[in-house]
Amino acid sequence: MAIKPSQIQAILQNKRTHFETFEKRQQSSLDIYQTAWQALCETPKKKLDAWLARQNGTIGARPLASLSDTEQGIHRSRLQWGNREHSLQWVNEHLQGITTFAVDGSQIFPSKDLSPPIALVQIGWFENPHTSAADYTKDIELDVMTPRDLELGDTSKPLDRLVNKHRFRMEIRRLVEYIEQVSDPEHCLVFFDGALVATFADAYEDEDRKEYVEALISLLEASEEYRVPLVGYVDTSSAHDLTTLLEHHSASVAAIPKVTDAQLLNRYMQWGDCTPIFQCDRTGILAEYKTRDKDYSDRIIFSYLKTNQGPPARLEMPRWLHKAGIIDRVLNWVRAEIIVGGGYPYAIETADQTAVLQTNDRQIFFRILQDWASQEDLQLRWSRKMMSKLRRR
């Protein structure tokens, strides 16, 4: 039976004050954080540097450039065009001959309506050389996760998490493979659709957390070794690195509800604007970004970039880009990709479209699976509920 709109409307009206109270509290906290942000940005460089030098523990973020050289902590892009054609001319000036590459993934999770459990994982990628001399490339790779892959018998590991981890590793492996074969790294940009700091894995068991960290370290290592620019793009970020920095720097924000970095910055930014570069100095999983030879815990930097009408996106990058002095060039490549994509990087958007598994793909997968099992004299057991759905759809 369909939901009843009248019931939803009545409940929302009855609980209207809940939303009003939340909004007022958020705005009050935001005002205090923004006051503290302005005070931080107006602090003379020598004084701020001396304060930073005295901070021995993690403080969320450490600026790698002067904040006093900005306008309210923001670098203005001043990119304005009269029409779409002019903006695309700017795109062509910056992306001509620059190869962009992105990977994304999709999956069909194991269903309780099918025994034994089986999953399908697919990744897709998009390479665009931005030149008339070569065509773009789209392709996919898929893998079927069997009961053995899903580690049946270990009930402590949710199947969905195992599938997500496998997809993550496939995406990272493809990015690393691509970076290793890039012939012209100075004219290439690789996008990772997500954060390079795997804070989401903080709550996982040691083994799972380690696997996520090792995968991301392999990506950072490849980018640094082969000098291929890498950007981890987070469209909707809930990170608190800058607000954590403010909590350490200003007593006024020590005991109020947190706001996100993106909320803090949004009011100051116009399209194309970005923050200075900060080193991510976060507690938790970042401390595990170490190998026998190298410590990557201080090698991830970030900036916030205004890409559309919503809050700014977060860009995470390996620190070598800053040391090489190519951040501005890379940010312009990202801006150009966003113009083509209408507010989201075109390379990531196209990789997502390439990788995504539709409802029809799910039906095709199950049909192939059933046919193969029958041919091999293997028994698959479908629930009555699943069979009923398949008949009705």
Task: Give tens-digit pLDDT for 16-30.
Answer: 766 655 665 666 788
User: What proportion of the chain, given as a percentage, has pLDDT over 90?
Assistant: 63
Peptide bond into 5 cis (omega under 30): no
Mean pLDDT, the chain, as a whole number?
A: 88
| Contact between 301 and 64 (Cβ < 8 Å) | yes
Beta sheet of 137-145, edge-to-edge order: 60-63, 278-281, 300-305, 313-318, 230-234, 188-192, 99-108, 119-128, 137-145
The CA–CA distances, whole Å, from 223 to 180, 196, 282, 333 equal 8, 12, 22, 17
Q: How many CA atoms lie within 13 A of 371 on its CB side?
A: 6
Report the candidate in 293, 180, 291, 173 with the shortest Cα–Cα distance to residue 226. 180
Predicted confidence band of residue 231 (pLDDT cuts 50, 70, 90): very high
Percent of the chain with pLDDT over 70: 90
Q: Please tell me which of 64-68, 277-281, 291-295 the model is most confident about, judged by mean pLDDT.
A: 277-281
Pairing mode of beta strands 230-234, 188-192: parallel
pLDDT at 190 over 70: yes
d(CA 91, CA 349): 17
Q: Please give the pLDDT value at position 293.
A: 86
Beta-carbon contacts of residue 333 (< 8 Å; ≥ 6 apart):
94, 95, 98, 100, 189, 229
CATH of 59-357, one of 2.60.40, 1.25.40, 1.10.3470, 3.30.2170: 3.30.2170
Q: How far is the C-alpha of 168 from the C-alpha of 173, rounded, in Å?
A: 9
* pTM, full prediction: 0.89
Confidence label for 322 from pLDDT (cuts 50, 70 and 90): very high
Q: Which amino acid is at 180?
A: E
- Burial level of 239, CB count in 10 A (0-12/13-18/19+)? buried
Lowest-confidence segment of 26-30, 47-51, 284-288 by average pLDDT: 26-30
* CATH 3.30.2170 residue spans of the chain: 59-357
Contact residues for 73 (Cβ-Cβ < 8 A; gap 6+):
37, 38, 40, 41, 67, 265, 268, 275, 276
Residue 185 has pLDDT above 90, yes or no: yes
Helix axes 206-226, 159-180, angle to 10 degrees: 10
Q: Which residues contact 149 (CB under 8 A, 6 or more apart)?
A: 119, 162, 166
- Cβ atoms within 10 Å, residue 360: 8
